[in-house]
Amino acid sequence: MTGLGRHAATDGSFGKSAGSALFRGAGLVGLAVILGLIMLYWGTRDDGALDVTTPGDTADVSDDDGGSGGTTTDSVPGNDDGTDVGTSVPTTVGSESPVTTDAPEGEGTVAPPSEVTVIAANAVGTPGLAGGLRDDLTVMNYKVDVANAPNSSVSKVYFKQGFRGNAREIVDNLGKDPSIIQRLPNDGSVTIQNDDDGARIAAAQVIIIIGSDDIF
């Protein structure tokens, strides 16, 4: 009895046809993937060139010799429109501003005693006070001018500009209190007898007034 339906051929033609169709489908899919990758690649490029960025690519701010010190620049931010609102501010790394202090006038600088004239002025009236001080100063190799001065209850060692060191040396050698050292005023208030024209005061660099406070 003959069936009404149509049966597949037994010679394998159906299998061959199915395999061919599967192969063509796989080929089309592979081609589509390749085209998609090419379009994706070129679609992300503006100039067609390949950028290769490696991590850690930063501006070099080290010294020429490879050190990390030196001077760097802190940039001042600009406006929102990209215009600059300032200039670069140089920042020095690892440096300190030197700090200097001025010593008191003439302190530490001592002129050769043989070139310094010292007036030893007796402001007490007791004979021999200035003479005794002259002997001590002569031993220190100072040139000494002995004089009398108006009576004073306070002893002072005055110095002219640049000779504070010599005044301190004299006071230290005599074992006296350095608080008696003072800059010679320019108002003419310090005088000695027999010096009407001020020539003796003008010729001296240090003037010692021996007062009645018994310091000398």
**123, pLDDT greater than 80:** yes
Please report, to the nearest 10 degrees, the dihedral formed by the alpha carbons of residues 6, 10, 12, 17 taken in order: 0
- Domain at 113-210: CATH architecture: 2-Layer Sandwich (3.30)
8 Å CB contact between 118 and 142: yes
8 Å CB contact between 201 and 119: yes
Tell me what the pLDDT averaged over the chain comes to.
74
What is the tens place of the pLDDT at every residue in 23-51?
A: 677 777 778 888 877 877 766 555 544 44
Please give the DSSP secondary-structure letter assigned to residue 161: T
What is the tens place of the pLDDT at every residue in 159-213?
A: 999 999 999 999 999 999 999 999 999 999 999 999 999 999 999 999 999 999 9
pLDDT at res. 149: 97
Lookup result for tokens 């006070």 = 129
Report the amino acid identity of residue 141: N
What is the tens place of the pLDDT at every residue in 95-109?
A: 333 333 334 554 668
Q: Which two tokens stand for residue 142?
A: 């100072």
Predicted TM-score of the model (pTM) = 0.53
pLDDT at res. 111: 97
The domains of the chain are located at: 113-210
Average pLDDT rounded to a whole number, residues 134-144: 97
Query: How far apart (Å, rounded) are the C-alpha atoms in residues 9 and 163?
Result: 134
CB-CB neighbours of 195 under 10 Å = 17
